A and B are shown apart, each in its own frame.
Chain A
Amino acid sequence: MTPTLSVRNLRVEIPTRRGVLRAIDDLSFDIAPGEVLGMVGESGAGKSITGSAIIGLLEPPGRVAGGEIRLAGERIDHLPPERMRHVRGKRIGMIFQDPLTSLNPLYRIGEQLTETILTHEQLSGRAARDKAQRLLEEVGIPAAAERLSAYPHQFSGGMRQRVVIALALAADPQLVIADEPTTALDVSVQAQIIALLKRICADRGASVMLITHDMGVIAETADRVCVLYAGRLAEIGPVRDVVKHPQHPYTRGLMAAIPSLAGDPDEKLAQIPGSMPRLGAIPPGCAFNPRCDFAFDRCRAERPDAYPAGATQAACFLHDAKNPPPPEIAGRASEVGLGVTRAPAEVPQ
């Protein structure tokens, strides 16, 4: 089946006075129809930029410098602006982080909804208004008919994010990109919004790309997860496997750093030493090598491809079956559940 979204070798560059920065480097992933893909990583890892690149709204001077983006098989990078505009909203919906600032304060909710509907669908004003009301009902806003004539500031944060979801889904897009949709909200409403997003997209069979740094949200919501580090893919795979059996040292560190309610409250949280490099100062080889416990010479010289690693794929030489890491490293790694563990690589010549 054709994936809803297919990103191949995507490269996003930002020219600056001090040279060209690579915000996204050689990133590939797919999202199947109806699938929820979680996109995780630290701030600056390139999650949001990937989203902006897909929807064609990179902030200048950022630009897609290589690779391709396909929506249901059709290439959408480098579409002329006017055609790309009809993809936005109509085929890809986007939800931003802050519902408080995503809505124009000077227009009524109903105006903003019907405006979006009429942009993408041939409807009468009346029909558009009816649809706007149905959308508001669908996202769980009480007394939808009256609320249409309210202004954004008359809604609470959670309610505003519901309106934003209604706006993003107004034209029934195939793909919804949600960029940190709950970060700015109260903890108490975060779960509601995520549940709503998941339900409403499942109802319509829309795929979701959920960008967040909250692994808890990903674990509950996503089918698969894609971990980014310094603009590069670290690991991608089914969410259970990535959470329970991470195969990339970075993912492993990330998972260990999540506090668990069930765990021992006195136990110290694991930390990854150091911090993610700035885009201008990515080390040669694997971007993670200076912080990695298992780095060896090759990691400092060569960039790893994504290798199959159990149920997931990890961009780490520990998983290179053809050219395995030094035994000492491999041994240490396998003690913590990382590395070449499955059968084919173990077969001696």
Chain B
Amino acid sequence: MLAFAIRRLVQAIGVMLVVALISFIMFRFVGDPVNQLVGVDTSPEDRAALREALGLNDPVLLQFGRFILRAAQLDFGISYQFKQPVAALIASRLPATLELSLVSAFFALAVGVPMGVFTGLYPRSWASRAFLAISLIGVSLPTFLIGILLIFLVSVNLGWLPSFGRGAVVDIGFGWTTGLLTTSGLQSLILPSITLGLFQMTLIMRLVRGEMLEVLRTDYIKFARARGLSRRAINFGHALKNTLVPVITITGLQVGSIIAFAIITETVFQWPGMGLMFLQAVQSVDIPIMAAYLLLIAFLFVTINFIVDLLYVAVDPRIRLGGARG
């Protein structure tokens, strides 16, 4: 168990180092950092001085080491575009993205799992077929199009919900602003969360359905039936719990991609989060923000993967107690 955790940790650090290297290469070699920081009328001498001061003349390996050291202290340099520290910029945008992502993930799970269970239990019913057809459309439609269609129907035609922004937010300390405590904040959250969560929802539904169909064919379900257990106990006690193991894995991985896909949703709904900022950084080649965002996403991925591995262990006694015996 401990060996397992350590091996995972080593892998995670490896991935982070690779991503850091990519970030560093972008940071150092795409465009000239000096040109980005000074005006056109700066003299060559001043430029050279700045170059020396930034350590850009040091050996590359030393620069990479310094980059990692700074990144570990959350120092990602100054944004070319905003002329502010990148860390502070990201910190101010992080709450919006995290709230949106978590609410979307919750929506995807809360709707996707029951739909998956239903379609797994009654694969031939009309409702199941309808769910599957909808899920196929959900997988095929680009996220931004779903967002636009939702805005068109719900905001423009029906006028029910706001179509952009976060609504009123409240600062709950540590610079964390939340939209979860105000009516307008909650209303603003609905459409973006559905847009962002829809793809994951269909994915989870299909996954749960597949696993459910698989598990219902196993011997222990047959034996549970032969013992005369109620349908309820079999379907929800025995079958569902066994489908949850892979669902946890995939959902964990999906939380990461939800955060990345937030770029699109945030653009459609003008949601003031990290994704929107990253997109603006790409458009204006604001490398420090791009590099920092890449590192942050990689860190989130790696952390979530690690947590998922631990959760996995918590659900499945076979792993927890050290493999099968006999």
Q: Which A residues are within 8 Å of any B CB, using their own CB?
A: 55, 57, 85-90, 93-94, 96, 98, 101-107, 115-116, 119-120, 151, 153-157, 164, 167-168, 170-171
Partner of B218, one of A86, A94, A101, A120: A101
Partner of B228, one of A107, A119, A156: A119
CB distance from B195 to the nearest CB of A (A): 35
Contact indicator B317/A102 (Cβ below 8 Å): no
| Given A153-B325, A156-B326, A102 and B223 contact (CB-CB distance below 8 Å) | yes
CB distance from B272 to the nearest CB of A (A): 43
Residues on B with beta carbons closer than 8 Å to the beta carbon of A164? 223
Contact indicator A87/B228 (Cβ below 8 Å): yes
Which single residue of chain B is at the shortest CB-CB distance from A102?
B223
Give a binary string over B206-223; 1 marks a CB under 8 Å from any A CB, 0 the rest: 000000000000111011
Which single residue of chain B is at the shortest CB-CB distance from A85?
B228
Residues on A with beta carbons closer than 8 Å to the beta carbon of B235? none
In the bound complex, how far is the Cα of B321 from the Cα of A332, in angstroms?
A: 65
19 contacts between A and B (CB under 8 A): A57-B222, A89-B227, A94-B223, A96-B222, A101-B219, A101-B220, A104-B224, A105-B220, A105-B318, A106-B242, A119-B233, A153-B325, A154-B321, A155-B326, A157-B326, A164-B223, A167-B223, A170-B227, A171-B228
| Given A151-B317, A151-B321, A153-B325, A57 and B220 contact (CB-CB distance below 8 Å) | no
Q: Is B229 an interface residue (CB 8 A)?
A: yes
Residues on A with beta carbons closer than 8 Å to the beta carbon of B324? 153
Which single residue of chain A is at the shortest CB-CB distance from B217?
A59
> B residues 298-317 with Cβ under 8 Å of A?
315-317
Which single residue of chain A is at the shortest CB-CB distance from B245?
A106
Interface size on B, residues (CB 8 A): 27
Contact indicator B226/A96 (Cβ below 8 Å): yes
CB distance from A210 to the nearest CB of B (A): 16
CB distance from A257 to the nearest CB of B (A): 29
Contact indicator B230/A85 (Cβ below 8 Å): yes
In the bound complex, how far is the Cα of B241 from the Cα of A284, in angstroms?
A: 49
| Given A105-B317, A106-B316, A119 and B225 contact (CB-CB distance below 8 Å) | no
Contact indicator A89/B318 (Cβ below 8 Å): no
Residues on B with beta carbons closer than 8 Å to the beta carbon of A168? 226-227
Contact indicator A119/B220 (Cβ below 8 Å): no
Contact indicator A103/B229 (Cβ below 8 Å): no
Residues on A with beta carbons closer than 8 Å to the beta carbon of B315? 106
Residues on A with beta carbons closer than 8 Å to the beta carbon of B242? 104-106
Extra contacts, 14 of them, besides A57-B222, A103-B220, A154-B325 (Cβ < 8 A), are A93-B227, A96-B219, A96-B226, A101-B220, A102-B222, A103-B223, A116-B227, A119-B233, A120-B228, A151-B318, A151-B321, A153-B317, A153-B318, A153-B323
Which single residue of chain B is at the shortest CB-CB distance from A84?
B228
Residues on B with beta carbons closer than 8 Å to the beta carbon of A90? 228
CB distance from B222 to the nearest CB of A (A): 7
Q: Is B238 an interface residue (CB 8 A)?
A: yes
Which single residue of chain A is at the shortest CB-CB distance from B227?
A89
CB distance from B19 to the nearest CB of A (A): 35
Which single residue of chain A is at the shortest CB-CB distance from B225?
A57
Residues on A with beta carbons closer than 8 Å to the beta carbon of B318? 105, 151, 153
In the bound complex, how far is the Cα of B325 from the Cα of A116, in angstroms?
A: 25
Residues on A with beta carbons closer than 8 Å to the beta carbon of B237? 115
